[in-house]
A and B are shown apart, each in its own frame.
Chain A
Amino acid sequence: MKMMDTSNKNLSNRKVLVIVLLDGPYISQYADIGYNMANTALKMGYDVKIFLYMDGVHLPRKKQDPSILPNISGNFEELIKKGCEIRACIRCAAARGYINESDYLKKVEITSVYDLAEWMNENSKVVLLGS
């Protein structure tokens, strides 16, 4: 029982990196930069959460084939496998035709900007990338 309490305490005190992405794929390098930051933070033991806002909601779309550029959805799939949480703003997603998660990679959730507000707490560092 004692061990369990310690473990829970450690979990609640874990540092969290929150990355907010505003740009769509390929229009800028921000998604790649966000991916690299997330990957490094995960390796360093951080919890990583990505919030997709504005055109950022296009990023986790399935079946992307950018030919000569790094495939953003492939990179995001890798982050999800490593435990990264990815959520998209429902207002932004609905405006762009994503009415549910079926167009998205598995485990990407469409939620509200209130989730971002909750993620911005004492344990987190927030980085907003976009133009």
Chain B
Amino acid sequence: MSSSLIIIDKAPYGRENAMSGIYIAIASLDKGIKFDILLMGDGVYVALKNQSSDKAIHYPSVSELIYSIFPNGTLFVHLASLIERGIKYEDLIEIAELVDGKTLYNISKTKKHILKI
């Protein structure tokens, strides 16, 4: 069975990309297609805990939405992007899995499709 990955490298809320990327993953998983998400660059902000976008700007919380991929999909978070932004692992939602560059390379080799949104 083919397995795919979507890379989200944009912060949530400033643009539609993060939410739309998550929807592609959810739809694929609903269809029984293995699909993972990788957050890198500003995309790592998607995995921050305690977001209150619904109250503050009337946008659905992407960190709540992203739970929908669990447990069949994996949420990878790029370690270097996290460190660059001063974010700690404990600041992230529970389903986040940290990956370094080498692990990321190995994950990408197993994917049929890799999209960057």
- Residues on A facing B (Cβ under 8 Å): 20, 22, 53-54, 91-92, 112-114, 116-118, 120-122, 124-126, 128, 130
Contacts and interface: CB of A to CB of B under 8 A. Distances in A.
B31 A118 contact: yes
Contact of B16 (A54, A122, A125, A126): A54
B31 A117 contact: yes
Interface in B8-39: 16-17, 20, 23-24, 27-28, 30-31, 33, 35
A120 B28 contact: yes
A20 B112 CA distance: 16
B106 interface: no
Interface size class of B (residues with CB under 8 A): 10 to 19
Contacts of B23: 91, 113
A121 B31 contact: no
B2 A54 contact: no
A128 B2 contact: no
B33 A117 contact: yes
A114 B31 contact: yes
A122 B2 contact: yes
Nearest to A121: B2
A112 B27 contact: yes
Contacts of A22: 17, 20, 117
